[in-house]
């Protein structure tokens, strides 16, 4: 069924965007602006593919992707939270570093056939027409993405720890005065964001296209950053936005296959054009954006000052 096949590819394309955006959302809720998502994603992708190729287990590849993203985020955290380096400059530098290191580390694996992460079929539910294959016969990372959206939404708005994290993002000085360890909370948020980006990268090299090619993230980290703003720092809106952008990505591929006479260069740029258009539309409602933006976002914190 053509519609079912298209929807399945949309889900596959949207999952890494949802994961990377969700991790960045938690990071920004803590007041840290991490522009290194692209670098962490590509490091997760190469680590996942390499671990899978060396061990034969895609599940170990998933773990390697998560660990790789988390470790790379620790470097960002050390530079910005401990050494108080500029967050924007550091994030950009780590993106460039990640692209370079991943290209070098992944060179031996170029052209090697990948091992795809198997699907998990839920008994009875997976047999439901259309809905079954879409929702109940998917891979582990898809189920993790949905569980993380639910978990992060609960954590941020229904737990004491989530309240502390949002307090740090809204006013780190006030949170510190109340006895909250601002630096520790921000480190944990940055590591969670890096782990999610690494998991998103693992999805690309183990499911979306089970192979390793240099720079295979192709700007998805930047789209994830825009999605956080598009979602107004709300997890459920990240899920909706991720699937919207996933549909745009797959739509341009099908449009090229149908030969509609539209230049292929424009169709390839369509997901990024959509990102720019969305940001322009959001900027018109500046009051709503300011209300939802963490007040301490991008601001360094030093307890002694």
Given a contact cutoff of 8 angstroms between Cβ atoms, the answer to whether 144 and 16 are in contact is no
What's the chain's average pLDDT? 90
By DSSP bridging, strand 119-121 and strand 137-139 are antiparallel
Helix (H, G, I), strand (E, B) or coil at 102: helix
- Over residues 232-286, the pLDDT tens digits come to 899 999 999 899 888 888 877 766 666 666 676 676 777 777 777 777 777 676 6
Cα three-residue angle 133-16-238, rounded to 5 degrees: 95
Higher pLDDT, 195 or 305: 195
Contact present, 213 and 265 (Cβ < 8 Å): no
Write b or e for each residue in 259-297: b if 16 or more Cβ atoms lie within 10 A of its Cβ, otherwise e. eeeeeeeebeebbbebbeebeeeeeeeeeeeeeebbebb
Nearest Cα to 224, choosing from 20, 11, 12, 15?
Answer: 20
What are 43-101's pLDDT values in tens digits?
Answer: 999 999 999 999 999 999 999 999 999 999 999 999 999 999 999 999 999 999 999 99
Say which DSSP state 80 is in: I
**Beta bridge mates, 139:** 119
3 pLDDT above the threshold of 90? no
Q: What's the chain's length in residues?
A: 305
Please report the pLDDT score of residue 275 as a whole number. 74
Q: With beta carbons less than 8 A apart as the criterion, state whether 194 and 38 touch.
A: no
The residue extents of the domains of the chain are 2-292
pTM value?
A: 0.93
Mean pLDDT of 183-188: 96
Out of 3.30.70, 3.40.720, 1.10.3470, 1.10.1060, select the CATH number for domain 2-292: 1.10.3470
Closest CA relative to residue 238, chosen from 177, 179, 196: 196
């Amino acid at each position: 069924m053509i519609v079912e096949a298209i929807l399945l590819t949309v889900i596959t394309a949207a999952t890494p965007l949802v994961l990377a955006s969700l991790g960045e959302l938690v990071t920004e809720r803590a007041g840290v602006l991490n522009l290194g998502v692209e670098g962490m994603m590509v490091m997760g992708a190469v680590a996942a593919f390499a671990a899978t190729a060396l061990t034969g287990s895609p599940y170990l590849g998933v773990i390697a992707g998560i660990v790789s993203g988390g470790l790379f985020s620790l470097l960002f955290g050390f530079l910005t939270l401990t050494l108080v380096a500029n967050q924007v400059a550091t994030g950009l530098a780590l993106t460039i570093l990640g692209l370079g290191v991943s290209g070098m580390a992944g060179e031996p694996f170029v052209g090697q056939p990948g091992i795809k992460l198997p699907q998990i079929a839920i008994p009875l539910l997976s047999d439901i027409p259309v809905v079954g294959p879409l929702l109940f016969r998917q891979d582990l990372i898809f189920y993790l993405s949905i569980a993380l959206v639910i978990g992060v939404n609960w954590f941020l708005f229904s737990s004491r720890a989530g309240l502390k994290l949002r307090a740090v993002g809204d006013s780190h000085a006030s949170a510190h005065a109340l006895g909250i360890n601002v630096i520790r909370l921000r480190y944990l948020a940055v590591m969670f964001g890096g782990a999610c980006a690494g998991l998103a990268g693992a999805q690309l090299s183990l499911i979306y296209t089970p192979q390793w090619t240099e720079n295979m993230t192709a700007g998805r980290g930047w789209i994830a950053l825009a999605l956080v703003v598009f979602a107004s720092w709300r997890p459920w809106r990240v899920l909706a936005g991720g699937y919207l952008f996933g549909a745009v990505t797959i739509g341009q591929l099908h449009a090229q296959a149908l030969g509609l006479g539209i230049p292929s260069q424009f169709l390839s740029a369509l997901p990024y054009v959509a990102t720019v258009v969305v940001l322009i539309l959001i900027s018109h409602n500046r009051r709503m954006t300011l209300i939802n933006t963490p007040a301490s976002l991008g601001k360094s914190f030093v307890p002694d000052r």
